[in-house]
A and B are shown apart, each in its own frame.
Chain A
Amino acid sequence: MTLERHSVLRIVVKALVLFVALNVAFALVDFPANGGVAALGRLSLYNTLWPGRARLPYGDDPGRAYNLSLYSLEAMFASHELSRGAKPADEFRVLLIGDSSTWGWLLRNEDTLAGLINAMGLTTEDGRAVRAYNLGYPIMSLTKDLLLLSHAMRYQPDLIVWLVTLESFPADKQLDHPIVRHNAPAVRALIADYQLRADPNDSSFVNPSFLDGTFIGQRRALADWLRLQAYGALWGATGIDQYYPDTYEPAQRDLEADASFKGMAPPLLPEEALAFDVLDAGVRMAAEAGVPMLIVNEPILISQGRNSHIRYNFFYPRWAYDQYRELMRKHLHLATTPGDVYYLDAWDLVPQGEFTNSAVHLTPRGSTILVEQIVAVLRKQMLG
């Protein structure tokens, strides 16, 4: 009995010591700098056991989408087909950055912008095959775009296509998204490097402590990482990475008689209310790496319904959107662009019927219309 009790005590003490040691070691090795599991996140079953994902992981209903949202950029990129291996010498690599319309809400992968470009089998003058990668992410914030772009630069792009819309511009909403808040160190580095106007001490940033870095502290990130690996099998088995409902509510055509935009009233949309500094930072980032960039003002639903003389759609009153387009044009024209920057204003390109459940989500046909325009610019400016 005493011997037993003694050995039980020994086992408990040993287990405790091991547990504490493991936690501290984990915190030292894998401090949750950006969205957690920074070092571990690079380990992935994707691109080895499972095929890499065609778009970044995102999903609110993992059980039906076979996909989930997480904060670790490392884990997200490791699951993407972009991380398949070294870039082939004969590849002309195009990265698409943008919001949910680039990611392809309600669209199969073959109908997204990246999927449609790849299906065209384009080649460059020197014979390289054009290969597009979908790095869209269903969050509307230019800072989120910049964060993903800064992470994506290590994948040696030959061209960056950045799709933007006014909804991503409001300066005071830039940090208001989980993926931005949970990648505080990386976003702070961007603020410092590009002198962005955002406050590096903004209260929305999540600042992990040393305890948050332990095994226990990172349990959420670890569980997400594990589930991401598991859902890879279902992505591989079914090719499904979002939930496609049988029916959906179409984007609103009849609108409120409300002329305000994000608390701003007509007549003037002040330039400083929009995060052009973040747009400039992206342009600089590409230029410093010598990578050309195509900025696309993405198509919006121009509805013909009640009060459509006041608003274009649910998101935008006409006055604000018109001024935004003017600001974009002036800005990208006047900017001392250090590299190759091209601008495509595709705002009215897609007819009303080719939008799905939001004023920026396109049908497969709507996507095709946009891709044809994008490719036309590429042909003219870059591919020859």
Chain B
Amino acid sequence: MNSNDITHTLSTYVTTQILKQPKRILKGDEPLISSGLIDSFHLVDLGLFIEDKFGVRIEDSELNADTFDTLDQLVVLIQSRQ
């Protein structure tokens, strides 16, 4: 999967499953965690989704804005572990 595909998959998941706003377009550099858009519960959900979809584990200690805060950063993280 290239980075565009990963971005698309993640973006779709976040807008439909977490934000429940399917029409919303997420920018690659839009802060997700520090802005409060994704709360701690949904962050765990996102982690489970990533583990399930890309086979990449994000540790409990990594679910925070320091590890990744935007879609772009998350894509880089996933690719670095695949």
* A adjacent to B, CB under 8 Å: no
